[in-house]
Chains A and B, each alone.
Chain A
């Protein structure tokens, strides 16, 4: 079986299997799967408002997905996207609230702060991995919790005076778009979607067209071979985590400067970072795949909110479907095996 075919077939089959499993679950629990999925579709693409919401939800998913995918290509599993996103969110809002600058400087500065904060949160596990061979999965999980508690502490005690949220960011740092508001019937879609698409192009260019990207991918395939070829493996690992963290931090800026316009206390994780893992996996860790997968997940998440209203199906069904999709992608060995079985029988 050609590699290109299986690269495309595995995600498509996984999504189909996930949706079928979701339909079966709806049937068993006494709901109507057709009206359930119809409600999902209407809630995601039914009119311009819903399309706007779907694209808005897609924006942080692109960044989170790119962050996970970028690290993955260097052979690193960045589970810490959630934490990097939270610190990026806070950093962007902090700069957005604290300064009075013209938009042309203020907005880029806020974004830069988010990227830098995320990068710093990726730097620590990167250095520990490169220098001391500490497994990045555990360190990034721990960093998530440190980020959660630290950002809550800063919001409550440093940026605001015992309040549950910061002030709204200044107009000059906001990503809000009056053009999109008039186009999509006042959905919360903001200019971040452009940045997401640009980021995807940057990631593709960086990985596929530059020496740095070649080295990063090479380290992902084989650390030893890269070492023998004279590449600095440690430096590449740290760099990969830093860039990955910067993507994640920008994802947080999308929420802080665009969707919500402020930062607030989180009792738990936002979930965007963890969904980013699903996005990256489904997208085959490639830039274009991530964009498509984040569109799918954005639509699923936003459309789900319409399911209880129109068809009475609890919106948590979508979480189950997403979980099953990840499960099927992870078990790609089984899908490839099944596909090759079908191919043989055709002959």
Chain B
């Protein structure tokens, strides 16, 4: 194997594994930037994965090749709805945001497994037939070197995810909406004084995180797991949360971290076929993302500070 082929395999499988993480981590960035901690990302991914698979199985004959994309829309919608419950608890009812997020995770798993039992009368769904595959992007894959490295043997959701990270960066840092959203997360009282509706901003941000979390789950289910069971999403959401923190609550940072985690995940799968990695025991590659996140948090890789108001409900009139 020449170096270029090895590199191409690594890049392609990293991006493939990273796409769902990027979407979900971006969702986390929106929510936490507005001051609402979202441990519920895992649950949002679960419900997204469930919705996408059920939709895909039911409507594959209607929509044909477009099914996975339409299923993603459904996954986003349901993820968004579930996130509103988190918003209701943590913004209106002033619940502990971490606890409410934990409840969301339990709820998503319970509801989706309950419905799988009801709909299919067994513990897991069938395997979907129309899924996201790795393809060569037309035209772009013909570019010399870069075309082979990045644009061939890649899934479309990965490209969309990377594009969306840049869109999120633009929205958060270059628009009035983004400025208000970040203001609400740093100093809600100041934002309120300037006429920003804190509750509305936070609801919007949590809703966006629901859309993106559902999207991430839908992408994961339709490109990696291909069916839905209790073991479909085990920790992908927490991984996305880690990517968000590793990326210092910044959309592009989160994307970079997610790609890195995708790289680490894919290494534990394709590592055995790559010459200089085959001798490293799999366990090191498996725990690497988590250990690196802890190290990053401990400040060995630069300090990461959460938005100041993250985790605290805003109560008008209190100091």
Inter-chain contact B95/A331, CB cutoff 8 Å? yes
| A325 to B162 alpha-carbon distance, docked (Å) | 38
Binds B, one of A34-42, A144-152, A217-225: A144-152
Which residues of B have CB within 8 Å of A164? none
Distance from B296 Cβ to chain A, minimum over Cβ atoms (Å):
10
Note all chain B residues with C-beta closer than 8 A to A316: 110, 113-114, 117
Q: Does A138 lie within 8 Å of B287, measured CB to CB?
A: no
Residues of chain B within 8 A of A331, CB atoms compared? 89, 93, 95, 100
Main secondary structure of the interface of B (DSSP, over half): helix
- Chain A, Cβ-Cβ closest to B304: A134
**B interface residues, how many (CB within 8 angstroms):** 44
Inter-chain contact total with CB atoms closer than 8 Å: 128
Given contacts A149-B287, A268-B231, A334-B93, contact A138 B98 (CB under 8 A): no
Residues of A within 8 A of B291 (CB): 142, 146
Count residues of A near B (Cβ-Cβ below 8 Å). 47
Residues of B within 8 A of A29 (CB): 114, 118
Whether B117 and A333, one on each chain, are in contact in the complex, defined by CB atoms closer than 8 angstroms, is no
| B99-A145 in contact (CB<8A) | no
- CB A43 to nearest CB in B, in angstroms, measures 17
Cross-chain contact B281 with A153 (CB below 8 angstroms): yes
A142 touches B93 (CB 8 A): no
CB neighbours of B114 from chain A (8 A)? 25, 29, 314, 316-317, 319-320
Complex interface bits, A312-326 against B, C-beta within 8 A gives 1, otherwise 0: 001011111111101
B-contacting 9-mer, from A176-184, A208-216, A231-239, A274-282: A274-282
Say yes or no: A145 contacts B100, CB within 8 Å.
no
A residues lining the B interface (CB < 8 Å): 25, 29, 77, 79, 124, 128, 132, 134-135, 137-139, 141-143, 145-146, 149-150, 152-153, 157, 267-269, 274, 277-278, 281, 314, 316-324, 326-327, 329-334
B binding-site residues for A, Cβ under 8 Å: 39, 85, 89, 93-96, 98-100, 102-107, 109-111, 113-114, 117-118, 230-231, 234-235, 238, 241-242, 245, 281-283, 286-287, 290-291, 293-294, 297-299, 306
- The list of the 10 closest CB pairs from A to B, nearest first, reads A319-B110, A323-B106, A314-B117, A323-B107, A330-B95, A153-B283, A320-B110, A331-B93, A316-B114, A142-B290
